Amino acid sequence: MAVPKRKMSRSNTRHRRAQWKASTPQLVPVTVDGSTRLVPQRLAKAYARGFLRPGG
């Protein structure tokens, strides 16, 4: 495992951490029980097969 040779300054640490951003999931329409809902694409099959319930 890599180990830093010197202590990283607080400014550099915060500057590095500020670059990370979470991206919003891509939503796709899925029709369940006659109503169309937008759900994350990776969960679309689970909603369509009834493993998950949209909205709760």
Please report the pLDDT score of residue 14 as a whole number.
92
Please report the pLDDT score of residue 5 as a whole number.
94
Helices (H) and strands (E) in the chain, counts: 2, 2
| 3 state DSSP class of 16 | helix
How many other CB atoms are there within 10 angstroms of residue 36's CB atom? 9
10-residue averages of pLDDT along the chain (56 residues): 92 91 89 85 88 74
Please report the pLDDT score of residue 56 as a whole number.
63
Please report the pLDDT score of residue 41 as a whole number.
92
| C-alpha distance from residue 44 to each of 3, 18, 24, 37, 54 (Å) | 42, 32, 16, 10, 10
Please report the pLDDT score of residue 55 as a whole number.
67
Interacting residues of 42 by C-beta distance below 8 A, sequence separation 6+: 25
In the chain, what are the domain boundaries? 26-55
